Structure 1
Amino acid sequence: MKFVDEVTIDVTAGNGGAGCASFRREKFIPFGGPDGGNGGRGGHVYAVGDRNLNTLVDFRYTRRHEARNGEAGRGSDQFGAAGDDVVLRMPVGTMILDAETGEKLAELLVHGERVLIAKGGDGGFGNLHFKTSTNRAPRQKTPGWPGEVKSLRLELRVLADVGLLGMPNAGKSTLIAAISNARPKIADYPFTTLHPNLGVVRVGPSQSFVVADIPGLIEGASEGAGLGHLFLRHLQRTRLLLHVIDFAPFDDNVDPVAQAKAIVKELKKYDESLYEKTRWLVLNKLDMVPAEERAGRVKDFLKRMKWKGPVFEISALTREGCEPLIRAIYQHVASLQDHPPEDVDVRFLPTEDLSEAAPKPDADDPRFR
């Protein structure tokens, strides 16, 4: 399946049905009075988070979504039926923004979360609505109110506890394959990873965390070079960043310290909050370094890097050092984990927050006069 993480769609809520001006006319019942019903409301457009989806590819080919209009009112006190709603299923982690203003309208973070993104128009009033003790034969009726029409930009930011970043061929895909159930493409050439990969790491029967692997970064990534800058947004929701470093590059002229500093520099250019996120160093490919040289080279690296945070020495290929890394990650993630109430499985956002600007009946509307 093609990975798509940004699309633009148009949504149109249904218009309200028109009210009806009618009078009851039956044999032997003179002056039956008004019996015109109100029109039905137009259909709403909802967005629902679905954990079974991991891409926005469906919206790439179906960009316009319209709800049905409400039915018009009829005589004999018959109100029009409401239009059918449209429910758009999106991956958990999708941000919904106004394509014209860039304003964030909603964010789907929980499976089953339901958000109103376009409100249907209210139905018009029939003459039955205007009947009073002094106005016994009203002939007024109002048309239905129009539904909302919006152009929306959808951005998918994967929900993961841990994010992997580093240069191409640093061993990120090998690492996520070694510690999780993910099976990304692994090869001996740069940019093997072309889209984010998610893997679930099982620590125990009910203990796990999610790792995200993005394409490798290169110098100038924040300005559009390479592929990684397109997917850096997927790291913004992570609780921890693992900076994977190729400690034994094939080219002897390549300096791991210079590569590591280049990644940190690009991270800071792209997003200051991402740069300030908790970050650990993972020195990979130690199996390619002679055992008697490892301690000295690691010490020299940390000294030149001026790094004082956590450091892990591993070999993703042989899985050496992966177990201590997994345990440390889980302890860190568990310490930051929010524990919702056990009796709450799905969170629904109030639809009123998104419908304040929706057209509503107003007593001063000229259509009432």
Structure 2
Amino acid sequence: MFIDQVDIYLKAGNGGNGIVAYRREKYVPLGGPAGGDGGNGADIIFEVDEGLRTLMDFRYQRHFKAKHGQNGMSSNAHGRNSEPLVLKVPPGTIVKRKDTGETLADLVHHGAQMVIAKGGRGGRGNSRFASSRNPAPDFAENGEPGEEFEVTMELKLLADVGLVGFPSVGKSTILSAVSKAKAKTGDYPFTTIKPNLGVVQTGDGRSFVMADLPGLIEGASEGTGLGHQFLRHVERTRVIVHVIDISGLEGRDPIDDYRIIREEMGLYNESLLKRPEIIVLNKVDLVEDDEIFEQFRSAIGEDKEIHEISAATRQNLDTVLYRVADLLEETPETEEVVEETDHRVLYRYEKDPDAFKISRDDDGAFVVTGDAIERMFKMTDFNREAAIRRFARQMRSMGIDDALRERGIQTGDTVRILGGEFEFVE
């Protein structure tokens, strides 16, 4: 089974908690703070494995959780960092955040790695907060939560040549005839419902990968039929072989077929129209009136490269293969138009670290939200008074107290952050 799109859930590891501890040594009655830091949580990394061809593995397991960092220990011993969770993906995998649609990674080359979900930083132990004003702090940080979100993984085939055309024009027959690929064929539309790949070897020793792609229909650029699934794979091909059923036995007009598919490709991605293209008029053995060839050439344009073949009888197939091999030598590898191509995760949106929002619940409570304040909340140990006071100072330094006053908060009103409730005191 060919799987070319799947949604999965990722949860990177949380950082380990820092601890509160003090030196306990003989003859050292006033030992200082000695709480160690927590270890970092594990990242989730995607790595390209050229041995994979589909996303099948992610169909059966769709939740991935990386390990948390180890908690800090006494005697200033730091917790151990967790090893990253590495997920193998096939070449041509694009990773997008499901909630925003932002592209996080475009994974093409074997061995390329990208951090998709970042593990949380380990919390600091109390020894890290010692100062001249507070030589023995009685608080530590909890570990930072790891990133968690759903991603959509899309697979675009990495083929040199793509066979395009309406259903039942003979694409699968061509692939079967020129390679060892066992593509399913039949005399009904949409025989091919998944891409098939085959390695083609020419008589002079050159070889390339050819893809038989599901047939297009009108409206494909808007997702009709197999539209988007088909067009996604066309983007990766370097040379397009446009297959036309010149016999007209299916009741369609060959000229209209060519124009419709070109239009759909252009609507989806205009750059596809600039790819090197060979037009292959298939099923010539079934044509009774040769005048149809001249009509097609006149309507499409004399500047187009057109070959007449019969996949069933292998007529002129070798000529087409030699020409395709020549074009591939002249055509550089396709560069995907994606902003991130340097084998690292791309964070599209840089957020203001001090940004927050204040809203009101139905019961009148003030609700504070924002990445920075929510992270601080999760990293605060509310079982220790000193940690609570530090959290209050952080809120003041971010300007949250002043913003609450502007919204009309009064002493005794409730403030909520991630479900935790506080009483505002002026």
User: Amino acid of the residue matched to residue 264 of structure 1?
Assistant: R
How far apart in 2 are the matches of 1:205 and 1:162?
A: 18
Distance 1:205 1:254 in 2: 37
Mapping 1:210-229, distance limit 5 Å: 210-229=209-228
* SS of residue matched to 1:175: helix
- Which structure would you say has the larger RCO, counting Cα contacts within 8 Å and 6 or more residues apart? 1
CA drift at 1:224? 4.2
Q: 1:283 and 2:281 equivalent? A: yes
User: Aligned ranges for residues 1-369 of structure 1 at < 5 Å?
Assistant: 2-131=1-130, 136-203=135-202, 207-251=206-250, 253-289=251-287, 294=290, 296-337=291-332, 349-350=343-344, 366=390
- CA distance in 2: counterparts of 1:96 and 1:206, whole angstroms: 36
CA distance in 1, matches of 2:75, 2:349: 32
Instruction: Summarize deviations over 1:162-220 as a string: whole Å, max 9, x none.
Output: 11111111110011112223211012222110111111222479742221111112233
Contact 1:40 1:79 in 2 (8 A): yes
Three-state SS of the structure 1 residue aligned to 2:163 is strand
Contact 1:100 1:151 in 2 (8 A): yes
Pick which of 305-314 and 6-15 moved more. Answer: 305-314
Give me the whole-angstrom Cα distance separating, in 1, the residues matched to 2:75 and 2:177. Answer: 71
What fraction of aligned residue pairs are identical, expressed as a percent?
Answer: 43
- CA offsets, 1:106-131, max 9 Å, x none? 10111111100111111011123234
Deviation at 1:158, TM superposition (A): 0.9
Asked if 2 retains the 8 angstrom alpha-carbon contact of 1:214 and 1:228, the reply is: no
Alignment check: 8 A CA contact 2:216 2:230 kept:
no
SS in structure 2 at match of 1:231: helix
Q: Which stretch shifts more, 25-34 or 180-189? A: 25-34
8 A Cα contact 2:282 2:311, kept in partner: yes
Q: Find the structure with the greater CA-based Rg.
A: 2
Residue 175 of structure 1 aligns to which amino acid in structure 2?
Answer: I
Q: Give a deviation string over 1:230-284, Cα, whole Å, max 9, x none.
A: 3211101211211101122335x54322322232233333333323433221111
In 2, distance between residues paired with 1:148 and 1:14? 8
Which moved further from structure 2: 209-218 or 329-338?
A: 329-338
**Deviation at 1:307?**
4.7
Unaligned runs of 5+ in 1: 340-346
**Aligned-pair CA distance for 1:60:** 2.7
Answer with 200-209 or 160-169: which moved more: 200-209
Contact between 1:119 and 1:355, CA under 8 Å: does it hold in 2? no
Distance 1:167 1:110 in 2: 31
Q: TM-score, normalised by structure 2?
A: 0.75
TM-score (norm 1): 0.86
Alpha-carbon distance between aligned partners in 2 of 1:355 and 1:67, rounded to the nearest angstrom: 24
